Amino acid sequence: MPETTTALNLIDGSWTGSPSVERRNPARPDEVVVTAPSSSASDVDAALAAAAAAQPGWAALPPPARGAILMDAADILRARHEDVARDLVAEEGKTLAEARGEVRRAIDVLRYFGGQGWLTEGDVLPSATPGTTVFTRREPLGVAGLITPWNFPIAIPAWKTAPALVSGNTVVLKPAELTPLTASNLAAALVEAGLPAGVLNVVHGRGSVVGDALARDPRVAALSFTGSTRVGLGLADVMNARRGRVQLEMGGKNGYLVLDDADVAAAASIVAAGGFGLTGQACTATSRVYCTPGVREAFVEALAKAAESVVVGDGLAPGTTMGPVVSYAQLAKDVSAVSEAVARGGRVVAGGSSAEGLAFRPTVVTDLAADDPLVRDEVFGPVVAVLEVPDLDAGIAAVNDSAYGLTAGICTTSLSAAHEFAARAQVGVVKVNRPTAGLDLNVPFGGVKDSSTNTFREQGPRATDFYTWGKTVYLGHS
* Each residue's pLDDT expressed in tens, for the chain with a length of 478 residues: 345 699 999 999 999 999 999 999 999 999 999 999 999 999 999 999 999 999 999 999 999 999 999 999 999 999 999 999 999 999 999 999 999 999 999 999 999 999 999 997 789 999 999 999 999 999 999 999 999 999 999 999 999 999 999 999 999 999 999 999 999 999 999 999 999 999 999 999 999 999 999 999 999 999 999 999 999 999 999 999 999 999 999 999 999 999 999 999 999 999 999 999 999 999 999 999 999 999 999 999 999 999 999 999 999 999 999 999 999 999 999 999 999 999 999 999 999 988 788 999 999 999 999 999 999 999 999 999 999 999 999 999 999 999 999 999 999 999 999 999 999 999 999 999 999 999 999 999 999 999 999 889 999 999 999 999 999 999 999 7
φ, ψ dihedrals at 326, nearest 5°: -75, -25
Domain span at residue 225 reads 5-250+452-476
**In-domain check, residue 107:** yes
Look up the CATH number of the domain holding residue 208: 3.40.605.10
Q: Name the 3-class secondary structure at 214.
A: helix
Residue 237 lies in a domain: yes
- Name the region of 100 (left: φ>0; alpha: ψ -120 to 50; beta: rest): alpha
Handedness of CA 435, 436, 438, 440 (dihedral sign): positive
**Angle CA 385–387–388, to nearest 5:** 165
204 and 318 fall within a common domain: no
Same domain, 37 and 182: yes
Integer Cα distance of 340 and 346 in angstroms: 9
For position 353, what pLDDT does the model report? 84
| Residue 158 shares a structural domain with residue 235 | yes
Query: Has residue 334 been placed in a domain?
Result: yes
Please tell me the distance from the alpha carbon of residue 337 to that of residue 333, in angstroms, as a whole number: 6
| Start-end of H helices in 13-129 | 41-60, 63-79, 81-92, 96-116
* Spatial contact of 198 and 12, defined as CB atoms under 8 Å apart: yes
- Is-catalytic flag, 283? yes
Report the C-alpha gap between 122 and 301 in whole angstroms.
54
> In terms of domains, do 183 and 279 share one?
no
Task: Determine contact, residues 152/126, Cβ cutoff 8 Å.
Answer: no
Degrees to nearest 5, angle at CA 65 with 59 and 66: 50
On whether residue 440 sits in a domain, the answer given is no
Q: Which helix (H) or strand (E) holds 191?
A: helix 180-192
In this structure, the answer to whether residues 137 and 184 fall within a common structural domain is yes
CATH of the domain at 306: 3.40.309.10
Looking at the fold, whether 49 and 192 belong to one and the same domain comes out as yes
110 half-sphere exposure, CB direction, 13 A CA radius: 25
Same domain, 345 and 371: yes
Same domain, 242 and 362: no
From the list 252, 329, 261, the residue with the least C-alpha distance to 291 is 261
d(CA 150, CA 106): 15
Amino acid identity for residue 15 in this structure: W
**Residue 297 forms part of a structural domain:** yes
User: Would the CA dihedral through 67, 70, 71, 72 be positive or negative?
Assistant: positive
Element (H, E) at 468: strand 468-476
- Rounded to two decimals, the pTM is 0.96
Domains held by the chain: number: 2
- Whether 150 is covered by a domain: the verdict is yes
CA distance 131 to 72: 43
Instruction: Let me know whether 260 and 230 are in one domain.
Output: no
Could you tell me if 5 and 181 are in contact, meaning their C-beta atoms sit under 8 angstroms apart?
A: yes
Sign of the CA dihedral with 228 first, then 229, 231, and 232 last: positive
Give the separation between CA 336 and CA 359, rounded to whole angstroms: 14
What pLDDT shows up at residue 3? Answer: 58
Question: Which of these is catalytic: 283, 337, 384, 429?
Answer: 283
